[in-house]
Amino acid sequence: MVICNQFKHTIVYHLITYLIYSFMKLKYHNLSKTSTLKIITACLLCFIAIGSFAQDKTKTIGNKARKGSTNTSFTAVKGAQVGVMINAGHKHVELLKLNFHADNRAGDSIAFKVNIYQMNGKLPSDTNLVKEEIKGIIKKNNTEEHQLVSVDLSAYKINVSGDILVSIEFLTTKNGSYIGFACGLFNGGTFHKDANSSEWKKIPVVGADFNVLVKKLK
């Protein structure tokens, strides 16, 4: 994504440079029809590139990233979920990357998958908006700090709007594991299910620092 945007910046820079040079020639020289056509073509390409930038505007939604000592811990049980409610705005956006900080003191890495639900009032609906399994890993910690966990969502074309619940679901059970999530106060709380068949519950006030990079759509 970054490489793509840098490439677009380079294209626009060279197009604008060419346009300035061409208009300087136009001012002091009589140009042929071919040269004039080249200038018009360059103008159209420049407008297309600039329009592409407008389409690819990104922003981060969700909770502020944190690495502090405040955390909420959960046991890794297959089917259990942890997540936060995020307002994606009135207009549709495409989810690009999920980020959060976690502390894994288990004896091994913890595998999970990403789930997205539309909120239905105070609780999420039953329909998972993710149609393919998007896996991630919380590695075993070697330090006392929370580690950044990121999952690329860009290949799955997940378009959302309004209030959504972004959660991770543990894929295996690790006895004696306690996964701590970096949290902030007064940011909506943390939702969790202790097993696949359990009901959603909410921890008020303290919310895990889940946030998502999104692309604005038309």
Q: What is the pLDDT of residues 65-108, one digit of tens each?
A: 887 656 788 999 999 999 999 999 999 999 999 999 999 887 78
pLDDT surpassing 80 at residue 22? no
Q: Across residues 51-64, what is the average pLDDT?
A: 77
What percent of the chain lies above the pLDDT cut of 70? 72
- Cα dihedral sign for 17, 21, 23, 24? positive
Which phi and psi (to 5°) does residue 108 adopt? Answer: -150, 170
User: Domain 59-216 maps to which CATH number in 3.40.50, 2.60.120, 1.20.120, 2.20.70?
Assistant: 2.60.120
What would the pLDDT profile of 128-159 be if each residue is shown by its tens digit?
999 999 999 999 886 777 899 999 999 999 99
What would the pLDDT profile of 191-218 be if each residue is shown by its tens digit?
999 999 999 999 998 999 999 999 998 7
Model pLDDT, residue 66:
81
CA distances to 95, 99, 109 from 151, in Å: 11, 7, 15
Query: What is the rounded CA–CA span in Å between residue 197 and residue 63?
Result: 27
Backbone dihedral region for residue 55 (phi beyond 0: left; psi -120 to 50: alpha; all else: beta): alpha
Task: Decide: 114 and 168 in contact? Cβ < 8 Å.
Answer: yes
pLDDT band at 42 (very low <50, low <70, confident <90, very high): low
**What are the domain boundaries of the chain?**
2-56, 59-216
pLDDT surpassing 50 at residue 1? no
Count of C-beta atoms within a 10 Å radius of residue 126: 8
pLDDT surpassing 70 at residue 59? yes
Among 87-91, 164-168, 185-189, which stretch is predicted with the lowest mean pLDDT? Answer: 185-189
